[in-house]
Amino acid sequence: MFLHNKRLQYTVRVAEPNPGLANLLLEQFGGAQGELAAASRYFTQALSEDDPGRKDLLMDIATEELSHLEVIGSIIVMLNKGAKGRMAEGVEKEGQLYRDINGAGNDSHITSLLYGAGSPLTNSAGVPWTAAYVDTIGEPTADMRSNIAAEARAKIIYERLMNLTDDPGVKEALGFLMTREIAHQMSFEKALHSIQPNFPQGKLPGMPEFTNVYFNMSQGEPTVRGPWNQGDEWEFVENPTPAVDGGDGLASVQLSKKDEALLMDMKARTMSNPESDPMTGADLGSGMQGDKL
């Protein structure tokens, strides 16, 4: 059950309208790293979670992300307030409104025209929100790592947005949202490591002969070694060769005699003649067909 409180989690104070900035903030409203994607990710994880502690954590953060969606959406609407009235009432001369809301080359005129200067579920480039942003897989040790990464990415986007504005109220609200990404990341880290063991993800162990092997697949200089490919736990393979399993490296399948016969018939019917030099549409179009006769 959800109950809506008419007051925002964090007070929104916008100094003046700025349609261009509003358009950029849509990245955190309907973008891949935005608040709706986060709320949907954690809510769907919570529904299928059997651990009561993680279920409560996920529901708490999912609900808070919805409140953040309301905060960022409110900032967007406030930044668009000036354009909204002018767009609806058409009080300016032809073309002047476009110049006013286009600003320094941003796409806010498109958002204003299509969505009435509101807060559509798109990213800053106008791409509609999609459930493909929700990458829940139903394994807590994998999902928690995904959640940690999602919070880290969202923090970076908020940092970049804060660098784009000198509006003190907007900057402060974005700073709050950015800070909550840090808090959520820490909670997910604790939840992950409260599961022991949590690596590798899932139930099955890796094949021991390949788990601690590093293949040097990128040939050429520089070849950099570090803790990711050197040390007592790593076997470094300088020049990898095909078929590390000891086989011939070729794909094969066991077919029934009937399927094999049909396959050979098809192979014979579609075989190419490497000695032919057929006339093609390109030859006809080039005017060179006489050379083929």
The tens digit of pLDDT for each residue in 224-246 reads 999 999 999 999 999 999 999 99
- What pLDDT, on the 0 to 100 scale, is given for residue 112? 57
- What pLDDT, on the 0 to 100 scale, is given for residue 81? 83
- What pLDDT, on the 0 to 100 scale, is given for residue 54? 98
Q: Report residue 214: phi and psi, to 5°.
A: -115, 120
> Encoding tokens for residue 92?
């300016």
pLDDT range class, residue 114, cuts 50, 70, 90: low
Domain spans of the chain, in order of start: 19-193, 205-244
> Right CATH number for 19-193 from 3.40.50.300, 1.20.1070.10, 3.40.50.720, 1.20.1260.10?
1.20.1260.10
- What pLDDT, on the 0 to 100 scale, is given for residue 284? 86
- pLDDT at residue 173 greater than cutoff 60: yes
List the alpha helices (DSSP H) in 80-197.
81-89, 96-102, 108-115, 140-162, 168-193
**Average pLDDT for 96-110:** 57
Mean pLDDT of the chain: 89
Q: pLDDT tens, 9-20? A: 999 999 988 888
| Among candidate residues 228, 191, 234, 180, the one with its CA nearest the CA of residue 63 | 180
- pLDDT at residue 92 greater than cutoff 60: no
What percent of the chain stands above pLDDT 70?
86
- pLDDT at residue 289 greater than cutoff 90: no
- What pLDDT, on the 0 to 100 scale, is given for residue 96? 58
- pLDDT at residue 91 greater than cutoff 80: no
Q: pLDDT tens, 32-88? A: 999 999 999 999 999 999 999 999 999 999 999 999 999 999 999 999 886 555 555
Q: What torsion do the CA atoms of 138, 144, 145, 146 make, to the nearest 10 degrees? A: 60
